[in-house]
């Protein structure tokens, strides 16, 4: 009997599409640790950026005394 369609090629296709055994996937713990470190660094960068913006805004506007009387 002849094989119908690509049934005979299925085994070859699976073997060719698998990842090489040398490259092991990263562990989930390593990924979560890396992501946590990147998030912390991003938060530090954003806080520093916001502090810089606040400082530049304060220097642009001259503060007015609260208890000033015009005589």
pLDDT at residue 63, rounded to an integer? 61
Phi, psi of 60 (to 5 degrees): -75, -40
* Distance between CA atoms of residues 55 and 46, nearest Å: 14
What does pTM read for this prediction? 0.44
Does the pLDDT at position 32 exceed 60?
Answer: yes
* Distance between CA atoms of residues 17 and 31, nearest Å: 25
Instruction: List the domain boundaries for the chain.
Output: 25-57
pLDDT at residue 46, rounded to an integer? 97
pLDDT tens readout for residues 2-29 = 556 655 555 566 666 666 665 666 688 9
């Amino acid at each position: 009997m002849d094989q119908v369609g690509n049934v005979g090629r299925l085994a070859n296709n699976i073997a060719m599409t698998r990842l090489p055994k040398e490259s092991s996937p990263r562990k989930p713990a390593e990924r979560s640790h890396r992501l946590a470190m990147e998030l912390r660094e991003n938060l530090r960068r954003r806080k520093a950026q916001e502090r810089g913006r606040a400082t530049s805004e304060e220097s642009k506007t001259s503060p007015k005394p609260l208890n000033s009387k015009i005589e």
